[in-house]
Amino acid sequence: MTDITPYLDLIHYDGTLVPSSRTLYQLHLRHTHTIPFENLSPLTGEEVRLDIPSLLEKFTVRNRGGYCFEHNTVFQHVLQQLGFKTVNLAARVRLNESDEVITPRSHMLLLVEADGQQWVADTGFGGMSLPVPIRFSVDEIQDTPHGQYRLGFDSGIYRLEARIKDEWKVLYIFDLAAHYPPDYEVYNWHVSRHPSSYFVTDLVAARAAKEGRHVLHDTQYSFYSLAGEVEKRQLHSVNEIKELLENTFRIRTDGVPGLDARLDALLAAGKNSNL
């Protein structure tokens, strides 16, 4: 067994370790509010490793975050250590995609059993990550600390939807076929290495907070408050971006080789976002 104490210390969790829905809820909430979503590794050409020792070291020692494969691999490992039954799933991202585009299975999520029910857990979907698990229940609108979510179902395919500005948006679609580490190794290589991958070309970071969500895309920072207000700010220098990553997203940047050069390139290209 792996010692998960450093992980529990990182997310400031000192509650019960009984494999219950309450434990699942609290672990998920603290994970998403503590460990940032970020893609500095693929952006700078650093290998994204999915073995548990490397991931725990990245999160707890190097004070970094990661993307879905990293977040949910660690979260699933922690849950299994505590006695939860889990199934690993893979999804096709649909947010901001037109209906005719077929997207690959590039996202990892979990199906977790607790207290006789199944729950969808997903700690790694960036700015729209589930802040807490939701019941695996179709067409039930479920309230979370960061808005409403629901599951849809049609022709054997499930949809995770979020209410965004009073409109339901499909985040991703999936089925219940179990996936295994070799599957994610293939997906992870494509997402972190393919020259056209969003995570190779763009800077992305996100972190949930009690007051709302922090999101960074290239040189634009956005904060979406729970009250519905949106703050946007354009960043104009490498130091400004790194200061934001360090202080707002809680990402240590001094150990990321080549980061300054990549940020310089983003600034020179005038990359920004309409997030």
Which residues are identified as catalytic? Answer: 68, 107, 122
- Please report, for residues 50, 93, 177, 199, 245, the alpha-carbon distance to residue 101 in angstroms, rounded to integers and kept in the order given: 28, 10, 22, 19, 32
